[in-house]
Amino acid sequence: MIKSYKLSRTISDIVIYVILAVLGVIWVSPLVWLVLHSFREEGGITVPYIFPKHYTFDNYVKLFTDKETFDYPRWFLNTFVIAVFSCVISTLSILMVSYTFSRLRFKSRKTFINIGMVLGMFPGFMTMIALYYLLKAMGLTQTLPALVICYSAGAGLGFAISKGFFDTIPRALDEAATIDGATRNQIFWKIILPMSKPILVYTILTSFIGPWCDFILVRIIMGDKRDNYTVALGLQKMTDREFVQRYFKQFLAGSVIVAIPITILFLKMQNYYVEGVTAGGVKG
């Protein structure tokens, strides 16, 4: 009986591992192809083989030096500036709103929480046309500040996970600090925030990756002003019919480069990221 159980358990484990291995290969294959062909020397869009026959760094060199049509360094700088400013504003907004809902008790608190949760359920693309006309009325279309405003203005609605994390911190700390004469502002910045590294890292990562990878909103706001493109929109333009044959390998190289900062951030901070998600999943 025991031997049959062990045999069935072993077979089931083997089947599971085989399925996971196949899924892993399927998931990793496009990434490996992207990296390999970003160094490909021969061909244009496609070649009739998986592994390139000749490798070169020219695709990366041309990406940063050939500015005749596409200015990738400018796009990368635009993306970085937008992502950093949006990340700072969004992170502060989310954490302060989350702390307020977690610690303070005031009239209509539950109502505001429910309204925020309901509004957060609506997908962002539903408001893009309205945002465009509002920005046009203010003369902000095709500008970088317009993107920062769009990414960070409503960030406070994403308070749910951070609030759940703050709910796990004992209120006795706040009460002790209040008795010692600390204000709410001092409690937040000097006591609660230093203890909240996991949720701080999680909020920073999520606030940074959104503007870094976004395409749709940039496409609507920037139009045809190429100097203010972000990397996502610029790479998409490289695949247009009149450019794709010439710039496809630079497109692959640009796709690899734009993924490097996010990959490094996740590798360095993945432990805090997971801890922030799990600790913020409590009910409060």
Q: What is the per-residue DSSP string for 246-263? A: HHHHHHHHHHHHHHHHHH
* SS3 call for 242: coil
Number of domains in the chain: 2
Domain range spanning residue 46?
2-58
Pair of tokens at residue 239 = 């695949």
The pLDDT tens digits of the residues spanning 45-60 come to 877 878 888 888 888 9
Is residue 49 situated within a structural domain? yes
Pairwise CA distance, residues 158 & 277, whole Å: 13
Both 23 and 34 in one domain: the answer is yes
Q: pTM of this prediction? A: 0.84
The pLDDT tens digits of the residues spanning 214-268 come to 888 898 888 888 888 999 999 988 888 888 888 888 999 999 999 888 888 878 7
Both 91 and 226 in one domain: the answer is yes
Both 71 and 36 in one domain: the answer is no
Q: How does DSSP classify residue 189?
A: I
Both 106 and 52 in one domain: the answer is no
Of 205, 206, 203, 211, the closest CA to residue 92 belongs to: 203
Q: Tell me, what CATH number does 168's domain have?
A: 1.10.3720.10
Q: What are the CB-based long-range contacts (under 8 Å, 24+) for 266-275?
A: 266/205, 269/201, 269/205, 272/197, 272/198, 272/201, 272/202, 273/198, 273/201, 273/202, 273/205, 275/198
Share of the chain above pLDDT 70, in %: 93
Both 77 and 177 in one domain: the answer is yes
Both 195 and 273 in one domain: the answer is yes
Both 107 and 17 in one domain: the answer is no
The pLDDT tens digits of the residues spanning 128-180 come to 888 888 888 888 888 899 999 989 988 888 888 888 888 888 888 888 888 88
Is residue 284 situated within a structural domain? no
* SS3 call for 89: helix
**Mean pLDDT in the chain?**
85
Of 113, 94, 60, 123, the closest CA to residue 208 belongs to: 94
Both 30 and 93 in one domain: the answer is no
Both 144 and 211 in one domain: the answer is yes
Both 116 and 12 in one domain: the answer is no
Both 131 and 104 in one domain: the answer is yes
Is residue 88 situated within a structural domain? yes
Q: How does DSSP classify residue 126?
A: G
Residue 122: half-sphere exposure toward Cβ, Cα within 13 Å: 11
Both 13 and 119 in one domain: the answer is no
